[in-house]
Homo-oligomer: A and B are copies of this chain.
């Protein structure tokens, strides 16, 4: 049995150094003093003492997309021709988007999870390696953009494994987390992931905190994902302007921060290379993360950290 004490001793991943924030509003400080006077049981807080955990995704997909993949250009290409400007929209993802975001994460002191498509990794190996070298997590995101939920068992297993192998070969990172294209896993996906040694997946929106399922008689973690604070859904799907993205995510944070006083809460945000990596969106991220960091107890964590902490924690929700 591993109790909290033991876990903190292991602790390489879970130092309090990851917890940011000192500019607490006065009202909050006085509450905090009260709490100090009379400590209360906080059964559902995070194991490492974080108040609110923020989980950031950075999709590394561009370069691996199929020919004439969907883009902001009118979807009316005549058959037999290449959508050349759309290709340059994707190229932006690795030429400008990822590098810009990497610089921003460094400035902010935030480590993120990068969901890497295998074919994109092979197309831009040095960039994939740099993501890992800068301390971010590499998670698997399929070998390419194929529809996964229709694949027979063996085909799907090879599809997932090829992606993991590509990431390992190029970056040296053993991916333990998975994200299916458009979150659309099939009925076999979790079993396959468990067989391949994955610890968690993110293709689930049902909760605002991680939970554990039993898959193949072993624990498997869901680190829940988001559509509400997701650049591709909001900017390309719902046609938000960048200031709307900021406003909406800020309101999400405010509520989550408030709830996290009494419950374990995890907030998820996601950025895709060619969308979240534009100057306007990086400006948005800077504004948002600067705002969040001003709140005491906010902790930005990679999803592998979250999954391991959830597995360790006896109070994690089980379904």
Contacts and interface: CB of A to CB of B under 8 A. Distances in A.
A91 B206 contact: yes
Contacts of A280: 228, 248-249, 251-252, 255
Nearest to A282: B255
Contact of A95 (B83, B147, B207): B207
Contact of A73 (B183, B206, B241, B249): B183
Interface residues of A, number: 62
B279 A81 contact: no
B81 A149 contact: yes
A256 interface: yes
Contacts of A100: 259
**Count of this chain's copies in the oligomeric assembly:** 4
Interface string A162-199: 00000000000000000000111111000000000000
Contacts of A233: 72
Contact of A241 (B204, B248, B278): B248
Contacts of A267: 279
B84 A203 contact: yes
B205 A78 contact: no
A106 interface: no
A96 B244 contact: no
Q: Which 3 A-B pairs have the closest CB atoms?
A: A255-B279, A85-B183, A241-B244
Interface of A: 72-74, 77-78, 81-85, 88-89, 91-92, 95-96, 100, 147, 149-150, 182-187, 203-208, 227-228, 233-234, 237-245, 247-249, 251-252, 254-256, 259, 267, 278-280, 282-284, 286
